[in-house]
Amino acid sequence: MDHPMPSAGRTITLPTLDYGDVTLTCPQWCTGHADHRPDTYRADIHHRGPDVVLAFHGAEIIAAGLSQSPFATIVTPGLGGPTVGASVSPPDRSLTPVDLYSLAVALDSYADQLRDLAEQLHALLVGGAR
């Protein structure tokens, strides 16, 4: 599915609690800052891309999207920061490309387990076993 994205080089100015008005350039994938509040600290400003969502029966199971906090001072992996990452929820962590591939492998394995469970359930229902 294609998502409309703003053009690269779009400059915005956001009010912050600690630095006043902060002007920054949004990356091409950033969907905007409509949810920005003026009582936000500069370090908490973040760019977000559109989410890739797995939903089932109207419930969101997992969502992931590009994320970057250009003024963050956090250097703890998994908590986001000035380097672009993939924000995944759950588990509410920022993932590297390697981590994201590992998550995809885990989801593939889980899908296999669900198919096995579906076959077991089908056999129980068809066979009348309890």
Q: What's the number of domains the chain is made of? A: 2
If asked whether residues 18 and 59 sit together in one domain, one would say yes
Percentage of the chain surpassing pLDDT 70?
Answer: 91
| 18 and 60 share one domain | yes
Residues 18 and 30 occupy one common structural domain: yes
Are 39 and 74 in the same domain?
yes
From 80, 61, 55, 56, select the one nearest 69 (Cα to Cα).
80
Residues 6+ apart with CB under 8 A from 44: 69, 72
What are the residue ranges in the chain where pLDDT is below 50?
1-6
Q: Are residues 46 and 57 in the same domain?
A: yes
Shared-domain flag, residues 106 and 55: no
Q: Which domain holds residue 63?
A: 1-95
* pTM score, whole prediction: 0.80
pLDDT score, position 11: 95
Residues 27 and 91 in one domain: yes
Residues 119 and 102 in one domain: yes
Provide the pLDDT for residue 81: 86
Residues 58 and 46: their CA atoms lie apart, in Å, by 28
